Amino acid sequence: MRKKRWLALGLMLLLVLSTALAACSSDSKDDGKDESTGGKEKKEKTLIFGRGGDSVSLDPIAVTDGESYKVTQNLFETLINFGEQDTTLKPGLAKSWKAAKDGLSYTFELQEGIKFHDGTDFNAEAVVKNFERWMSGNAETRPYFASMFGGFNGDKAAVIKSVVADGDYKVVITLNRPQAPFLKNLAMVPFGIASPTAFEKDGKKFGDNPVGTGPFKFVSWKRNDSVTIEKFANYWQDGLPKLDKIVFKTYPENSARLNALIKGEIDLADGINPSDATSIEDNADLQLFKRPSMNVGYLGLTVTRPPFDNVKVRQAVNYAIDKQAIIDAFFEGQAEVAKNPMPPVISGYNEDVKGYDYDPAKAKALLKEAGYDGKEIELWAMPVPRPYMPDGQKVAEAIQKNLADVGMKAKIVSYEWATYLEKAEKGEADAFLLGWTGDNGDADNFLYTLLDESNIGSNNYTFFKNAETHELMLKAQTEVNEAKRNKLYKKAQEILSEEAPWVPLAHSTPLLAGRADVLNFWPHPTGSDKLDKVDFK
């Protein structure tokens, strides 16, 4: 009897499950997407933005990752804005600003009548409280602040001395020393102004419920899945934002993300493989977007390790590598050949630097001159794709062939990404592929950060050291006159090209794609896009 009951139960369970499964697989066609994405949803304009990773926190000052900034860029606003598609300075929450002649103080006139999403008034006091919050933090809670403004309250290297309200809508910032990229730094996404009421109340949890003045306000966050933000009805700029809702949805796999876009499950997709560009352009339902380039991909030559301690060998490698062929093959042409360590869009770029043409004969001659002993080198290939290096392994193979042609044997090695960076930082690589995407569109952010001796052990992975460039770059940091400053950087680029600690390879154009009906989407070179003007046809 008992046995029978078991059997009956089991069979019934089987029956129920198989019916359920059969139902799943049968008539799914007529249901499909017309019902879910149809008429009504379209009227309540929702944009789904597919991207590669989730945000870390939605408190912009607490993070350094681009995926967090992508969202907070639309929740918060900065005192100064970058231009629509460049890094020129435009008024933001501050309608105007004035620098003192000595570059030691700045006065900001604020916009009036703006409210935060929680109803708090935006005014000078709010700005001061934000600066106090940033300056009293530490590396753990405000990871970007020290990198951009020297240090926190009481640190010797701190740039900002004080921030004071002068009336309701005027703020005066005094500096300890002039900092040329000061205004550009303020325009960076991490320095979005947050509601003091909210961060005083929520403290560490502010990132789970962010409140700013931006065109959109926070709705919900399903970790590793999606962040939803919606139109802020009381936004101070008339007629904006155009969209009612934006969902940032995570699709870690590039091809899966593109599949979702083709199917119309999402409206915009980040991180498009260069190899998919043609098929997107041929598809009438889709459009291709190009993010203006603000990056550099390079081959670093560690100058403390033989044979690269010899400048002639470094120059020889520069002549040996066929950069155009690499760009054609692995960037699918979506990049331009680099000759300086920073891209041409950045003020101070030296057009006149000649760079190194592809010339194997010259490379051989230089190697001979240098007395290169034919020792095999290690060539490090990046294990992860980045916009500035879509396929590190293949680029390394091409370079390996180029080097073999001039008589330099190279062994390709690779490590898991965090390991790769740590080992390269310690100077354990002979030659390594790497790159950089600019933060604030300033020359300092490329040249000083990547090639100055102060950053050895940090971002100067080649251990390059040069008294002359060091002096030029330090001078440029405090030089507030743009023309004079550019001159210093141009000189530095000449020396860097001559000394050749890098083989600059490419400035790539990162690609995005969208449905054909998406309007007014202008990708920003920093990677954080303002979506307030985006609309549907």
Partner 1 sequence: MLHYIGKRLLQLIPVLLGMTFIVFMIIRAIPGDPAQVILGQQATKESVASLRASLGLDNPWYIQYFDYLGSLFTGDLGESMRTKVAVSSELWPYLAATLELALCAMILAVIIGVNAGIISAWFQNSWFDYLAMIIALVGVSMPIFWLGLMGQWVFGIQLDLLPTSGRDDARNPVDPVTYLYVVDTIIHGRFDQLWEVFKHLILPATALATIPMAIIARMTRSSMLEVMRSDYVRTARAKGQKMFWVVYKHALKNAIIPVLTIIGLQMGLLLGGAILTETIFSWPGIGRYIYEAIGFRDYPVIQSGILVVAFIFVMINLIVDILYSLIDPRIKYD
Residues 247-306 that bind partner 1 (CB under 8 A): 247, 249-253, 255-257, 259-260, 262-263, 265-266
Q: List the interface residues with partner 1, window 435-454 (CB under 8 A).
A: 436, 439, 449
**Listed ranges 173-181, 277-285, 326-334, 412-420: which one lies at the site for partner 1 (CB under 8 A):** 412-420
Applying the rule CB under 8 A, the residues between 170 and 229 that interact with partner 1 are 204, 207-208, 222-226, 228
Select 231 or 257, whichever has its Cβ closest to partner 1: 257
DSSP state at residue 210 = -
3-class DSSP state for residue 298? strand
Binding test (CB under 8 A) with partner 1, winner from 423, 475, 487, 491? 423
CA separation, residue 382 to residues 327, 408, 410, 431 (Å): 16, 20, 15, 11
Stretch 111-140 residues interacting with partner 1 (CB under 8 A): 138-140
Q: Tokens 């230089």 identify what position?
A: 366
* Residue 536 Cα distances to 85, 211, 291, 514, 533, angstroms: 20, 26, 20, 11, 10
Please state whether 154 falls in left (phi above 0), alpha (psi between -120 and 50) or beta.
left
**Please, are residues 443 and 348 in contact by the beta-carbon 8 Å criterion?**
yes
Site for partner 1 in 62-81 (CB under 8 A): 62, 64-65
Element (H, E) at 432: strand 431-437
Nearer to partner 1, 91 or 137 (CB): 137
**Shortest approach of partner 1 to residue 14 CB, angstroms?**
7
Within 341-370, the residues that bind partner 1 by CB under 8 A are none
Least separation in angstroms between residue 108's CB and partner 1 is 25
Amino acid at 472: L
Q: Are 296 and 388 in contact (CB under 8 A)?
A: yes
E-strand ranges in 76-182 read 80-82, 89-91, 94-99, 105-110, 160-165, 170-175
Cβ neighbours of 112 (radius 10 Å): 12
Decide: is 474 part of the binding site for partner 1 (CB under 8 A): no
Minimum distance, C-beta of residue 395 to partner 1, in the bound complex (Å): 19
| β-sheet bridge partners, residue 299 | 433, 503
Which range touches partner 1 (CB under 8 A), out of 32-40, 109-117, 369-377, 520-528? 32-40
Q: Which two tokens stand for residue 142?
A: 């405000």
Which one of 125, 166, 244, 422 is in contact with partner 1 (CB under 8 A)? Answer: 422
Q: Which is nearer to partner 1, 121 or 378 (CB)?
A: 378
Distance in Å, CB of 166 to partner 1, minimum: 32
Binding residue (CB under 8 A) for partner 1 from 1, 5, 31, 238: 31
Distance between CA atoms of 405 and 372, rounded to whole angstroms? 15
Question: Residue length, the chain?
Answer: 537
Which residues make Cβ contacts (< 8 Å) with residue 24, sequence separation at least 6?
Answer: none
Nearer to partner 1, 57 or 466 (CB): 57
295-301/502-508 β-pairing: antiparallel
Beta strands in 58-167 (DSSP E): 80-82, 89-91, 94-99, 105-110, 160-165
Using the minimum distance from each CB to partner 1, give the nearer residue, 120 or 259. Answer: 259
> For residue 285, how many C-alpha atoms fall within 13 Å in the half-sphere facing its CB?
10
Q: Which is nearer to partner 1, 165 or 421 (CB)?
A: 421
Q: Which stretch binds partner 1 (CB under 8 A): 57-65, 209-217, 315-323, 484-492?
A: 57-65
Query: Which of 132/422 has CB closer to partner 1?
Result: 422
Q: How far is the CB of 305 from partner 1 (least distance, A)?
A: 19
Asked if 320 contacts 408 with a C-beta cutoff of 8 angstroms, the reply is yes
Other Cβ atoms less than 10 A from the Cβ of 39: the count is 8
481 belongs to the binding site for partner 1 (CB under 8 A):
no
Of positions 83, 91, 103, 143, contacts partner 1 by CB under 8 A: 143
28 scored as a contact of partner 1 (CB under 8 A): yes
Residue 42's Cβ-count burial label (10 Å; 0-12, 13-18, 19+) is exposed
H/E segment holding residue 201: helix 196-202
* Least separation in angstroms between CB 256 and partner 1: 5
Q: How far is the CB of 17 from partner 1 (least distance, A)?
A: 6
Q: Toward partner 1, which CB reaches closer, 170 or 470?
A: 470
Q: Is 57 in the site for partner 1 (CB under 8 A)?
A: yes
Spatial distance between the Cα atoms of 124 and 111, rounded to a whole number of angstroms: 10
> At its nearest, how many Å lie between partner 1 and the CB of residue 457?
6
> How far apart are CB 400 and partner 1 at their closest, in Å?
24
Which of 106, 144, 372, 380 forms a contact with partner 1 (CB under 8 A)?
A: 144
Q: How far apart (Å, rounded) are the C-alpha atoms in residues 377 and 411? A: 6
> Nearest distance from residue 139's CB to partner 1, in Å?
3
d(CA 74, CA 389): 28
* 392 scored as a contact of partner 1 (CB under 8 A): no
Residue 165 CB, shortest distance to partner 1, in Å, is 29
Residues contacting partner 1: total by CB under 8 A: 72
